[in-house]
Amino acid sequence: METNETRNPETNPNNDQMENKADQLPPEELDDLQKKVHDLPEEKWNLYQYIGGGVMGLVCGFLLTTVSGYPSIGMYGTIAAALLALFGPRMIEKRVKRTVQKGRIAMMIALGVWLLGNLLFMLLSGVPIISKAA
């Protein structure tokens, strides 16, 4: 028979068992770098994320605009920028075992600013944005 009682998660016996299992798990062992990162205050960690994300965004922008202009290695600059933007933050998260979400946002903003600045520079210097192929 079903009852129409609402279940209270505080009195659920399965909830108590899950909490006990979480308490019984051994603490995760961290190396020296991970301990230093976890001991950082939140404000300082956010500042490091903003700086690192901004630098990474500018590097990606440089690779996309300047290095991609070289005929021999241009393709590699685009590939490097894509790999850096996609896999760099995740590798850092795995290494330090702390989230870098604000760094990702800073990277996207810095990349957008770089691309917008490059576009404005091209417009002001008279470089054609779209040219017809010969």
Neighbours of 67 (CB within 10 A): 16
Q: Which two tokens stand for residue 40?
A: 């950082």
Nearest to 46 by CA among 5, 4, 106: 106
Give the pLDDT score at 20.
Answer: 47
Q: Note whether 38 and 30 are within 8 A (CB).
A: yes
Residue type for position 130: I
**How far is 44 from 37, CA to CA, in rounded Å?**
10
Give the pLDDT score at 22.
Answer: 39
Q: Domain ranges for the chain, please list them.
A: 39-125
Task: Encode the chain (134 residues) as per-residue pLDDT tens digits.
Answer: 555 555 555 555 565 555 444 344 345 788 888 899 999 999 999 999 999 999 999 999 999 998 888 888 888 999 999 999 999 999 999 999 999 999 999 999 999 999 999 999 989 998 887 777 66
**How far is 9 from 67, CA to CA, in rounded Å?**
57
